[in-house]
Amino acid sequence: MLSVLDLFAAVSFPAIDPVAFSIGPLAVHWYGLAYVAGILLGWLIARDLLKRPHLWPNGQAPATLQQIDDFILWVAIGVVAGGRLGYIFFYDFASVAANPMRAIEVWNGGMSFHGGFIGATLAMVYFARKHQIRLWSLFDLVASVVPLGLLFGRIANFINGELWGRPADVPWAMAFPTGGPFPRHPSQLYEAALEGLVLLIVLQILARAFGALRAPGRITGIFVAGYASARIFVEFFREPDVQLGYLYGGWLTMGMVLSLPMVLIGIWIFVRSGRQTPATQG
């Protein structure tokens, strides 16, 4: 139970304008810049990994630099389209069914990671088949840099004062402008740290120092299970979407439901990667 003293003890929310800058009538938001920064920096790191053939199976990178340059557009479309459709179907279907125009109102709810994950996966499958690229190695390449996008995206959520946490009395709790008077967990920063920074460091170390990319699917499995585990953990501190609330028992959320299968899938992919032989890798 939060006391009156807890309300006054809350850390002040840094009032950062969600609009990074404006060019005439065009307003550029931090959220959009987060997507651009995540994709561009991820692209640069992916190119660096491709320049190191000794990291890959049989000393051969799965794609050329030109191919990965072309791939950026495909994965960007997959992430954005899948993320928006995922939010609609997983979190806001009733509202969109009642008012279809809401589907394009990205300021009314935003993007779903799980939807973006599905969209990006479909884009990778199509691109790999079209260019005859080893699919699991392409998965690994993308998975190794995805946490960058998550890091920037969650920081943008924090700047926007959205997707805040549950009421809390921890010393770093803060009252968000749209979250009522109660101090809350800054759960966006928890996610930025775990899903973003920590997972990025772990995957890059495994890829560069421990040869994880030489076992196609290993980085992918660790990413999928690692992201899902971090998401489930943070969901215990994050306020559920208001239109859904708790699905069961005052603790189960849609984020947990969507992430649990990912843990199992990630473990399966990891185990599968250890059973591959050089003749069957791909």
Question: Got the DSSP string for 201-264?
Answer: HHHHHHHHHS-GGGSTTHHHHHHHHHHHHHHHHHHTTBPPPTTT--SBTTTB-HHHHHHHHHHH
What local confidence, expressed as pLDDT, does residue 276 receive? Answer: 67
Rounded to whole angstroms, the Cα distance separating 39 from 277 reads 32
> What is the full DSSP assignment across 139-197?
HHHHHTTHHHHHHHHHHHHHHHT-S-B-B--STT-B--TTS-SS-B--HHHHHIIIIII
Out of 9-23, 69-83, 183-197, 246-260, pick the least confident.
Answer: 9-23
* Residue 8 scores a pLDDT above 70: no
Report the pLDDT averaged over residues 136-146: 97
Out of 70-74, 195-199, 272-276, pick the least confident.
Answer: 272-276
What local confidence, expressed as pLDDT, does residue 2 receive? Answer: 54
* Known binding residues: 154
pLDDT band at 79 (very low <50, low <70, confident <90, very high): confident
* Residue 255 scores a pLDDT above 70: yes
Average pLDDT across the chain, whole number: 89
Q: What is the pLDDT of residues 143-166, one digit of tens each?
A: 999 999 999 999 999 998 989 999
Report the pLDDT averaged over residues 136-140: 97
For the chain, the domains span 4-10+28-275
Rounded to whole angstroms, the Cα distance separating 6 from 12 reads 12
Q: What is the pLDDT of residues 50-67, one digit of tens each?
A: 999 999 999 999 999 999
Out of 93-97, 168-172, 225-229, 261-265, pick the least confident.
Answer: 93-97
The token pair at 148 is: 């960058």
Report the pLDDT averaged over residues 229-243: 94
- Partners of 11 in beta bridges: 174
What local confidence, expressed as pLDDT, does residue 18 receive? Answer: 86
Task: Yes or no: say if 140 and 121 are a contact pair by the CB < 8 Å rule.
Answer: no
* Residue 267 scores a pLDDT above 50: yes
- Reported pTM: 0.87
What local confidence, expressed as pLDDT, does residue 217 receive? Answer: 97
What local confidence, expressed as pLDDT, does residue 27 receive? Answer: 84
What local confidence, expressed as pLDDT, does residue 57 receive? Answer: 95
* Residue 277 scores a pLDDT above 60: no
- Higher confidence at residue 108 or residue 279? 108
